[in-house]
């Protein structure tokens, strides 16, 4: 993913109180990953985690992807594919801003209006 995209997403995730999830380590190295993340994050108080199973759990095949999960959702163990109940999460993929992704989710799935509004309100000045 381009550096500018990562920087924009980290900034928006910080403002929204969202987490950034990575599939794995840069070049398979924890040390390189931490070094690169420290450069990108700077002093932002943003949550970043490495969680390869999340990519299977939500059937993520492209990055960046944005996933909004309802509170209380309990994914089921799985070997492949989406393991979270499809009615309990939304996913949008593409090189777009977080507010664009959330607005798209809100328009396409009105039943998630409360969940999307929480994050959109945090992103608005």
Residue 79 has pLDDT above 70, yes or no: no
The helix (run of H) or strand (run of E) holding residue 8 is helix 3-16
Treating both helix axes as pointing N-terminal to C-terminal, what angle do 3-16 and 113-123 enclose, rounded to 10 degrees? Answer: 110
Structure-block tokens of residue 60: 């993520």
Rounded mean pLDDT of 80-104? 87
User: What is the residue range of 61's domain?
Assistant: 3-123
pLDDT at 82 over 90: no
| Tokens, residue 24 | 């794995």
Query: 20-48, pLDDT tens digit by residue?
Result: 999 999 999 999 999 999 999 999 999 99
How many CB atoms lie under 10 A from the CB of residue 115?
Answer: 19
Number of domains in the chain: 1
Mean pLDDT taken over the chain: 90
DSSP 91-122: EEESS--HHHHHHHHHHH-GGGHHHHHHHHHH
How sure is the predictor about 125, in pLDDT bands with cuts at 50, 70 and 90? confident
Answer yes or no: are the C-beta atoms of 92 and 105 closer than 8 Å: yes
**pTM confidence score:** 0.86
């Amino acid at each position: 993913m381009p550096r500018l995209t990562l920087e924009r997403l980290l900034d928006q995730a910080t403002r929204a109180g969202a987490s950034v999830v990575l599939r794995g380590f840069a070049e398979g190295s924890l040390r390189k990953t931490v070094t690169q993340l420290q450069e990108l994050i700077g002093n932002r108080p943003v949550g970043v985690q490495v969680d390869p199973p999340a990519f299977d759990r939500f059937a993520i095949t492209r990055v960046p992807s944005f996933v909004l999960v309802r509170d209380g959702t309990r994914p089921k163990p799985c070997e492949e594919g989406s393991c979270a109940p499809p009615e309990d999460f939304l996913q949008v993929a593409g090189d777009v801003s977080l507010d664009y992704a959330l607005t798209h989710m809100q328009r396409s799935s009105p039943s998630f209006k409360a969940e999307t509004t929480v994050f959109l309100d945090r992103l608005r000045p």
